[in-house]
């Protein structure tokens, strides 16, 4: 296990934001479901993306070529899509990636064969009940022990009407949107229980599907109509930069120094682009150009942050709130409790160790900002990449050094996070704890 010890230091400079993890999953899947070859540019090999690539290989997809771009360290992948839905392996390990498991379950079912799907870390207990309900309705055989992974599935999805709760995970909707267009008949996804949360992620799915030749009708996020017997069309596609990762450097720049974040498209559909509005509301000095964002040290103030459409940026925005004047309330954060960690509790616990004034209230947080945090504590990443990265950013405005254990968890989405931290002037001592 790795740990980092960070000496508080101003971060300054220019950073190339890594490719969007959400768009990478989607691009690899769309290329995999297309007949012929697609060329996907700007792929970074994080653990989650590797899990999706390996999962698609189980369906017979081939990565024919991987071309390294020396300047960015990212790859262009030439992907040969599946010709016949036939499993090459009856077992798929989704590691710790919620997106991978929820996207791939319906896709792998296209083969109609028995397979095992498993995961690691917290993924073994993250909810899949939405799919179990569909399996029960459609008479699809499945087995798991005590509701946790591994899961064995046998059967094909049939076209029809799928009722999906709007407030558990949009990833079920995305998984179905990838799969239902290939079935022999039309389908509808009806959103139940509450208004759809994480809408931006469904927008990303519908947008990339259109680019690969698949049409989905979005009826105001209440219902999605999916025509059957459609075909994916292979193409060349470049993954854009990741706003969820950009948020760490945006907050870092606001806390101290000046940071230019390259590769963040102004016209992006990513829901986490909301970081810009939230930070503006907090009085942050942020300027947005067509494809980059510049932030400078600012005197920020508290606000109300609705987590329902942008769950992944809450840990790092909580760090900003802990160092902003006045009170911040994070509301509607229920689904944060079912991520890689319970992010309401992990954010609260670790920021408290640094001396922040923060408490949980229902499924949200109440944070009263201070000019500086104490630091001088050993923090735990909870094996959650976003907690590790958020606490790294918090260290910038601590009085004393901060240690973060299990810091290697960043590899889930951003394997070179600590290197980038150092490039911007961070003083990080990385240790292998064995």
Ligand X SMILES: O=C(O)C1=C[C@@H](OP(=O)(O)O)[C@@H](O)[C@H](O)C1
Q: Is 97 in the site for ligand PEP (CB under 6 A)?
A: yes
Q: Alpha-carbon torsion 132, 214, 245, 364, what sign? A: negative
| From ligand PEP, ligand X, none, interface partner of 198 (C-beta below 5 to 8 A by class) | ligand X
Catalytic residue among 242, 312, 380, 420: 312
CA distance 203 to 83: 27
On whether the CB atoms of residues 270 and 313 are closer than 8 A, the answer is: no
Bond from prior residue into 150 cis (ω within 30 degrees of 0): yes
Q: Is 308 in the site for ligand X (CB under 6 A)?
A: no
| From ligand PEP, ligand X, none, interface partner of 335 (C-beta below 5 to 8 A by class) | ligand X
CA distance 83 to 81: 6
Tell me which of 46, 169, 179, 270 binds ligand X, using CB under 6 A.
169
Site for ligand PEP in 326-385 (CB under 6 A): 339-340
H-helix segments, 236-354? 243-255, 274-281, 314-322, 343-353
- Point out which span in 10-18, 91-99, 201-209, 344-352 binds ligand PEP (CB under 6 A): 91-99
Paired with 375 in beta bridges are 400
Q: Is 38 in the site for ligand X (CB under 6 A)?
A: no
Tell me which of 18, 311, 364, 392 binds ligand X, using CB under 6 A.
311
Q: Is 405 in the site for ligand X (CB under 6 A)?
A: no
- By C-beta, is 52 or 407 nearer to ligand X? 52
CB of 99 to ligand PEP, least distance (A): 3
CA distance 196 to 222: 7
**Structure tokens that stand for 188 in this block:** 């509808």
Q: Is 386 annotated as a binding residue?
A: yes
Paired with 165 in beta bridges are 192
Q: Is 347 in the site for ligand X (CB under 6 A)?
A: no
- Point out which span in 86-94, 168-176, 253-261, 368-376 binds ligand X (CB under 6 A): 168-176
- By C-beta, is 25 or 397 nearer to ligand PEP? 25
**Structure tokens that stand for 412 in this block:** 């889930």
Q: Write out the DSSP string of 40-93.
A: EEEE---HHHHHHHHHHHTTT-EEEEEEEETTTTEEEEEEEPPSS---S-SEEE
Tell me which of 165, 242, 256, 312 binds ligand PEP, using CB under 6 A.
312
Q: Is 227 annotated as a binding residue?
A: no
| From ligand X, ligand PEP, none, interface partner of 159 (C-beta below 5 to 8 A by class) | none
Cα torsion 343, 314, 365, 402 to 10°: value is 70
Q: Is 341 in the site for ligand X (CB under 6 A)?
A: no
Contacting residues for 351 by C-beta, under 8 A, at least 6 apart: 318, 319, 322, 358, 367, 373, 391, 394
| From ligand X, ligand PEP, none, interface partner of 413 (C-beta below 5 to 8 A by class) | ligand PEP
Q: Are strands 2-7 and 402-405 parallel, antiparallel or unpaired?
A: antiparallel
- Point out which span in 71-79, 163-171, 290-298, 390-398 binds ligand X (CB under 6 A): 163-171
Q: Both ends of the chain: CA-CA distance in Å?
A: 6
- By C-beta, is 3 or 169 nearer to ligand X? 169
Q: Is 44 annotated as a binding residue?
A: no
Q: Is 413 in the site for ligand PEP (CB under 6 A)?
A: yes
**Strand order in 304-306's β-sheet?**
304-306, 327-331, 364-368, 357-361
Tell me which of 80, 334, 386, 397 binds ligand PEP, using CB under 6 A.
386
Q: Is 415 in the site for ligand PEP (CB under 6 A)?
A: no
Phi, psi of 322 (to 5 degrees): -65, -15
Active site residue 312: yes
Q: Is 106 in the site for ligand X (CB under 6 A)?
A: no
Q: Is 98 in the site for ligand PEP (CB under 6 A)?
A: yes
Q: Is 171 in the site for ligand X (CB under 6 A)?
A: yes
On whether the CB atoms of residues 279 and 316 are closer than 8 A, the answer is: no
On whether the CB atoms of residues 21 and 413 are closer than 8 A, the answer is: yes
CA distance 404 to 398: 13
For the annotated binding site for phosphoenolpyruvate, the residues are: 21, 98, 126, 171, 343, 386, 412
Extract the annotated binding site: 21-22, 26, 98, 126, 169-171, 198, 312, 339, 343, 386, 412
Active-site residue set: 312
- Contact residues: ligand PEP, CB under 6 A: 48, 97-99, 312, 339-340, 386, 413
Binding positions for ligand X, rule: CB under 6 A: 22, 99, 169-171, 174, 198, 201, 311-312, 335
């Amino acid at each position: 296990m790795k740990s980092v010890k960070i000496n508080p230091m101003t971060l300054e400079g220019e950073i190339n934001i890594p490719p969007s993890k959400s768009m990478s999953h989607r691009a690899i899947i769309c290329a995999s479901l297309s007949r012929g070859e697609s060329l996907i540019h700007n792929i970074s090999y994080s653990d989650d993306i590797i899990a999706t690539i390996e999962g698609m290989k189980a369906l017979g997809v081939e990565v024919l070529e991987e071309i390294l771009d020396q300047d960015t360290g990212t790859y262009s992948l030439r992907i040969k899509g599946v010709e016949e839905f036939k499993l090459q392996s009856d077992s798929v390990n989704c590691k710790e990636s919620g997106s991978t498991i929820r996207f791939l379950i319906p896709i792998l079912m296209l083969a109609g064969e028995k397979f095992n799907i498993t995961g690691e870390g917290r993924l073994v207990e993250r909810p899949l009940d939405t799919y179990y309900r569909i399996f029960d309705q459609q008479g699809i055989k499945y087995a798991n022990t005590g509701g946790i992974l591994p899961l064995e599935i046998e059967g094909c999805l049939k076209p029809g009407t799928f009722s999906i709760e709007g407030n558990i995970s949009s990833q079920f909707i995305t998984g179905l949107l990838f799969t239902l267009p290939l079935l022999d008949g039309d389908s509808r996804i009806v959103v139940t229980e509450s208004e759809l949360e994480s809408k931006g992620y469904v927008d990303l799915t519908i947008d990339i599907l259109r680019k690969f030749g698949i049409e989905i009708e979005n009826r105001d996020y209440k219902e999605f109509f999916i025509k059957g017997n459609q075909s994916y069309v292979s193409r060349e596609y470049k993954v854009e930069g990741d706003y969820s990762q950009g948020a760490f450097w945006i907050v870092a720049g606001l806390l101290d120094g000046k940071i230019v974040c390259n590769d963040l498209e102004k016209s992006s559909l990513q829901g986490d682009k909301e970081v810009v509005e939230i930070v503006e509301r907090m009085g942050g000095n942020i300027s947005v150009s067509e494809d980059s964002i510049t932030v400078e040290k600012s005197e920020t103030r508290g606000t109300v942050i609705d987590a329902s459409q942008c769950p992944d940026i809450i840990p790092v925005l909580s760090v900003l709130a802990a160092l902003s004047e006045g009170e911040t309330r994070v509301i509607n954060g229920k689904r944060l409790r079912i991520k890689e960690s319970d992010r309401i509790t992990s954010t609260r616990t670790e920021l408290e160790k640094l001396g922040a004034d923060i408490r949980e209230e229902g499924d949200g947080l109440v944070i009263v900002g201070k000019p500086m945090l104490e630091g001088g504590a050993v923090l735990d990443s909870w094996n959650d990449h976003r907690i590790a990265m958020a606490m790294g950013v918090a260290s910038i405005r601590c009085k004393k050094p901060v240690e973060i254990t299990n810091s290697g968890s960043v590899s889930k989405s951003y394997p070179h996070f600590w290197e980038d931290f150092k490039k911007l002037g961070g003083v990080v001592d990385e240790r292998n704890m064995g």
